[in-house]
Homo-oligomer: A and B are copies of this chain.
Amino acid sequence: MTNPTAAMLVIGDEILSGRTRDSNMHFLARQLTERGIMLGEVRIVSDDRERIVAALNDLRAGHDHVFTSGGIGPTHDDITADAVAAAFGVGLDIREDARAILAEHYTRTGLELNAARLRMARIPEGADLIENPVSAAPGFTLGNVHVMAGVPAVFEAMVASVLPRIAGGQALYSQSLTIQRGEGEIAADLATLAAEYPALSIGCYPFQRDGAFGATVVVRGVEKSAVDSALLRLSALFPEATA
């Protein structure tokens, strides 16, 4: 069995200008990994319709799922729904079930469902709504593309609404060891180990701490016994390594 693959498209000038530090990508990456869905690529593009359409069409063709973050609010720079409709070549209009969700929410909170807010009920033809328990305005799934808000609390709630609908894969089992030596000291042994265990992913992640170089070696795989066996070999090769 092959694990499903995913890509993420983050839409937002504020990330690219360095004004905001993205947190949605890290959140989604962890959620997908837990479910055995392999996040293969992330793209961050500006609030530009052509670029969003091009990236969406590229990503949805190459992955089982695409998750987007950002650009579905009520303001003039929120153009993600338009871009998704254009990418799929379908219409975009206010949908009654989405309007009803907004009307109920704004009545309850005593705010006006004005023209700007009503933009958030514009849903591409054929999409399914994604529930937003935080601020009501729904996301949507069209084909294999899941369109979600950028505000982290809302994004996270929408991910929680979407993931149970999606088939996961075999969870990857992973173990890691940290070695207080530079990568260059351990690279040859790691390469040998990687060749011996072709079904495992053996990654080496260097770091610098208190002026000294070290490396964390992460071994991942579907078979727990293979991962454990590789870990034993690693521990024998580097007796000073710590879990």
A side interface size, CB within 8 A: 68
Determine if A29 and B39 form an interchain contact, defined as CB atoms under 8 angstroms apart: no
- Cβ proximity bits A132-168 to B, threshold 8 Å, 1 near / 0 not: 0011000000000000001101100000000000000
Residue from B116, B135, B184, B206 in contact with A116 in the complex, judged by beta carbons closer than 8 Å: B184
Residue from B73, B183, B194 in contact with A183 in the complex, judged by beta carbons closer than 8 Å: B73
- Closest CB of chain B to A73's CB: distance in Å? 5
Dominant secondary structure of chain A at its interface with chain B: mixed
Give CA–CA (A116, B192) in the complex, Å: 12
Cβ of A108 < 8 Å from any Cβ of B? no
Known contacts A184-B114, A191-B75, A191-B76; A41/B41 CB under 8 A = no
Interchain residue pairs with CB less than 8 A apart (8): A15-B29, A74-B183, A74-B184, A76-B191, A116-B184, A117-B184, A151-B206, A151-B208
- Cβ proximity bits A29-59 to B, threshold 8 Å, 1 near / 0 not: 1111100001111111111000100000000
Give CA–CA (A18, B46) in the complex, Å: 23
